[in-house]
Every structure is written in structure tokens, then in C-alpha cells.
Amino acid sequence: QIIVFAGSNAATDNRFNGVIGLAAYQNGNWALEPPILIATGLNTELELPHFVFRDGLYYLFWCTQSHTFSPEVVGVTGLYGMVAPTIRGPYRPLNESGLVICNPMSMPSQSYGWRVAGDLQVVSFLNDAALGSKSEKFIGTISSKSVIELNGERVKRSSSQVSLV
């Protein structure tokens, strides 16, 4: 049994210190393992980590927000991912950058909290929606579903619904 979790790198005083860790159940106790992803110097928030096992590969996904990146890094709010042959790695970024899905530039806080299910449906939390030409309104509900396709280190959206749920 293994638990995946988001955390902070205690071995650094850099405020951009996000990690994704594992804990394994061994001999009746939970034991921390070395982090499988370390973002020290890049990002402080690697939220909602989760796996999808597909075609013999482990796909690790997480969410982050644009304001949690180091000032030296240009990053967007979105769903990010990596792929590895084992749950402990070594991990390689999906789509070269790790970015899987992001909000449109015109609505940078539109969605958050993306989750990829085993059938590759993706759902998130809908924060804001455009009403009219410039206004935004807090929605606070589940967003429309998307479906992704995984192919090794490449991932793309195969379908998306535009309507609000």
C-alpha cells in the first residue's frame, strides 16, 4: 500500500519548495520514502497529486497555480504531469514541459483542482466564468468534463465539453 501526498521540502529554506512524496505501509507502519518529485526553486504548491496506471506506465498528475511559481519561472494555473516506468520513477515531463491542461489566458482563474480518472476523464472545480465581455462571476461548481489521450510522454485532449455543469 502506498500513499501519494503533496508537501514541502524541509531540507531547504527556499520558499519555493514543493514536493510530491510517497509513504509505504511496511511491517504494520507507514514509512516515508524519498520524494518522487522535487520543485525546489521552481514552485511551492504541487496540489492533489494522483496516479493513473496505463499501458505499463505510471502517470503522475498534480495541480498548481500561476502565483505559486518562483518569479524566475513563467507558469500557468493548470494540470501538470509526468510519466515513469515505476511508481518511484524516474519521471519525465509530459509534453516536454509537464503542462497537460491550463486555463485560457483571458480567464486565468477559470478552473482548478483537476483530477484524471482511470478512464482518462478529467474534471475540475470551476471558479469563474465570463459573463458578458469583461465581467467574471464566482461559480463554485464542477466543471465540464474533458477526456485526454495518453501516448508515452505525450498527452492531448481528445474531447471537451464547453457547457457548464
pLDDT in tens, the chain (165 residues): 999 999 999 999 999 999 999 999 999 999 999 999 999 999 999 999 999 999 999 999 999 999 999 999 989 999 999 999 999 999 999 999 999 999 888 788 888 999 999 999 999 988 876 654 455 667 777 887 889 999 999 998 876 543 332
27 CB contacts (<8 Å, ≥6 apart)? none
The alpha carbon of 28 is separated from its chain's Cα centroid by a whole number of angstroms, namely: 30
Return d(Cα 33, Cα 1) in angstroms, integer.
13
Helices vs strands, H then E, count in the chain:
0, 14
**Longest CA span, the chain:** 59
In 3D, which of 86, 77, 112, 108 has the Cα closest to residue 24?
Answer: 86
Stated pTM of the model: 0.90
Q: Measured between alpha carbons, how far is residue 65 from residues 4, 34, 95, 113 in Å?
A: 20, 24, 18, 10
Q: What is the pLDDT of residue 160?
A: 55
- The answer to whether 86 and 57 are in contact (CB under 8 A) is no
Grid cell 504548491 in the structure block, residue? 45
Q: Which amino acid is at 43?
A: N
Q: Is 16 left (phi over 0), alpha (psi -120 to 50) or beta?
A: beta
What ranges in 84-135 are assigned the alpha helix state H? none
What are 123's strand-pairing partners? 115
